[in-house]
Structures are given as C-alpha cells and as structure tokens.
Amino acid sequence: MSEIPSKMTASVLRGVGDIVLEQREVPSPAPDEVLVKVRSVGVCGSDVHYYQHGRIGDYVVNAPLVLGHEASGDIVAVGSGVDPVRVGQRVAIEPQRPCRVCEFCREGAYNLCPRMEFYATPPIDGAFCEYVLIQDDFAYEVPDTISDHAAALMEPLSVGIAAAQKGGIKVGDTVLIAGGGPIGVIAAQVARAFGAAEVVVADINPARRELAAGYGVRVIDPAAESTEDLGAHVFIDASGATPAILNGIRSVRAGGTVVLVGSADQIPLSVPEIAMREVNVTGTFRYTNTWPIARSLLTTGQVELDSLVTHEYGIEQVEEALTGEGAADSLKRMVLPGVLKVDDPVVRGRAS
C-alpha cells in the first residue's frame, strides 16, 4: 500500500454553478472509521440539483461543499478501533452516519435519524475528492467480480431495493415503473429479482425507452398507450413528474401499492380514488441495511450495473459531468477522483 499523502484534490461547489478544484488536507480516521481512497463516484440527480439551484428543500448550500455520494474505493488506513486487516480491502460505501441512539435508529429505521450526516448533503462533504472517511461498518467489502463502478452504484441499487421492499414486491406481481432513467432501470431489475412476473417501464422519451428495453423489460410511451388496464400490484415512480404519479395511482389495482421515489413537489390527490380502492401510497427516503442485499444481487447476476455507465470523467471534469447529467443518451456518469482528466468521456456499452 503506497504512502498516504498529506494533501488531496477535491472538487468543491462554492455556489450555484460554481465548481472549483481545491487542495485539502487528507483526513485522519476516528477510532471507528476507515479512510478510503476513492476509485469511482456516480453522478446523482441530487448533485445536479445542488449545482443548479444551491438547495434541495430545507438543505441549503451556504458554505463550500464537496458533492458526490455514490462511491467505492480502497481502504488505506483505519482508526484505532478497527481491525487493521481491513487495509487494502475494496469497498462500497454506504454514505451516511446515523446517530445510532435516537428512537428511529434503535427501531432499525436509521434512514429517518434526525441527526443523520449524509454525504453531499449540507453541511457534510461528499466523495468528489481523493479520500473520504466512513464508519467501519458502512464500508462493505466487495469481491473482485464487482467492478469499481458497480460497487459505487450499489448506492442507487439500494434505492431500488428500498423501493421494492416498500412496495412489497413478490413472486408473480405486475410492476409498473415511471421513468426510464438510472433509478427506473435499476428498480426494474430489482423488481424482476424480487419475483415480479411482468415489469413495465413508462417514459415519454423514446431514447430512454430504448435504453430501458435493453434490460429485457416491456416499455410503454404513456402519451400513446394507457397503463390503466395493467392492474399493477405495485407502481414505483422514478420520474418525479406529476402526470406520471397520477397515472400510476390509476394504474394500480385495488389494494395495490404506490411507491414515490422521484422528487416531486405538491400534487393533487383524489382521496376517494385512494380510499375507496384502498390504494397504499408511501414514499422512500434513502435506505437501511440494503448493501448486503445489493452485493448478493450483483454477485449472483440478478442485477447488472456496469452497462449503465455511459460516461467517465476525471476530477477536473466534475462540472462537465454535472451539466451533462440527464441527457437522453446517458444513464450513469462516473467521476474518477484519482484521474485528473479523461480525454474521451464516453464509455461504450449496452447503454451508450
């Protein structure tokens, strides 16, 4: 293991549309932490939102912030309370630190911890940098069969797993998913792994429908084809679009479940339609205890993530990665913090 430098390069958001590179001190792990040299970080829509708007709801960027929370890397140092055998392990990072003592944490719902510290959520720095700290038990060792990119994407995979768990997807179910972006495609794969007999992805964008179809699911243009006769057991919204959510509610059967994953503002809901058909409407906020499930789904081949990667960028190109996110020709854009610049950022694969 090479010597750990005293300084590292970090990509820092200073304000709306203002990204700069800074040299920062490499942090030292607390007794219960590990220091991870970051290999791969996925660009998430939340990163883009902070870059474009400087806030998400009550979370406001009012000080310099390092974005990025979908991360993998190598453990290069450990705190005094961590077994040194962990040095050298390849890991996927669960990018959060709950308090572990509040009511929610004690009940196992640590995703709802009111004192949660989450990567790239103000004021907590994220992983668009060369080294990060995480508590020992939130750094999950991954086998060599899982790539650096796939290990990083265990974070959005965990979002899909949490949605499937909330929806109660079981063998034989019909599942409708709104949105053919990364979360929609991942949720579709998870739904199949959970036993769904039919998985349908609806998206108004033809390029996104084509990408989603490459993962063996049925795709629908909701502007041209109704989904209300599907009788879906579960509807997962990964679009955040009000028309898609309202259509999804109408498309689930009586007693079905609607899981809201996409970020939407207030929308009008028909109480009689929900109450008289006993439709269950719920949301997801991050995840709990999903990384072992994600690792199992990847190692058994039930979910495949590498082909979602359409672009790679160096640490000097974070702004380019952020401004290109959401384009019809991309699913996942990845930042390589140990690389300054990638000459050709386009990665060929199923999704490219």
pLDDT in tens, 133-177: 999 999 999 999 999 999 999 999 999 999 999 999 999 999 999
Number of domains present in the structure of the chain: 2
Are 73 and 121 part of one and the same domain? yes
- Closest by CA to 76, choosing from 27, 16, 10, 144, is 27
**Helix (H) or strand (E) run with residue 190 in it:** helix 182-193
263 and 309 assigned to the same domain = no
Helix, strand or coil for residue 311? strand
The per-residue pLDDT for 330 is 77
Beta bridge partners of 139: 93
For residue range 77-89, list pLDDT tens digits in order.
Answer: 999 999 999 999 9
Kindly report, residue by residue over 293-320, the tens digit of the pLDDT. Answer: 999 999 999 999 999 999 999 999 999 9
pLDDT at 82: 98
Please check whether residues 24 and 128 belong to one and the same domain.
yes
User: How far is 29 from 49, CA to CA, in rounded Å?
Assistant: 30
For the record, the structure tokens of 81 come out as 């309370």
What CATH number is given to the structural domain containing 91?
3.90.180.10
What's the start-to-end Cα distance of the chain, in Å? Answer: 35
Residues 132 and 37: their CA atoms lie apart, in Å, by: 7
Residue 98 — left, alpha, or beta (φ > 0 → left; ψ -120 to 50 → alpha)?
beta
Residues 108 and 232 in one domain: no
pLDDT of residue 1: 60
pLDDT score recorded for residue 326: 64
Contacts of 157 (CB under 8 A, 6+ apart): 186, 190, 290, 294, 297, 298, 303, 305
Do 22 and 147 lie in one domain? The reply is yes
Cα radius of gyration rounded to whole Å, the chain: 20
The predicted pLDDT at position 328 comes to 65
Q: β-pairing, 96-97 with 90-93?
A: unpaired
Contacts 24+ apart (CB under 8 A), 56-61: 56/263, 59/121, 59/122, 60/122, 61/13, 61/15, 61/122
Q: Is 152 helix (H, G, I), strand (E, B) or coil?
A: helix
- Does residue 41 share a domain with residue 14? yes
Q: Are residues 78 and 189 in the same domain?
A: no
Domain extent at residue 135 = 7-153+305-336
pTM of the model: 0.96
Could you tell me the mean pLDDT of each successive run of 10 residues in the chain, 352 residues long? 90 97 98 98 96 94 98 98 98 98 98 98 98 98 98 98 98 97 96 98 94 93 94 97 95 98 86 95 96 98 96 97 78 95 77 42
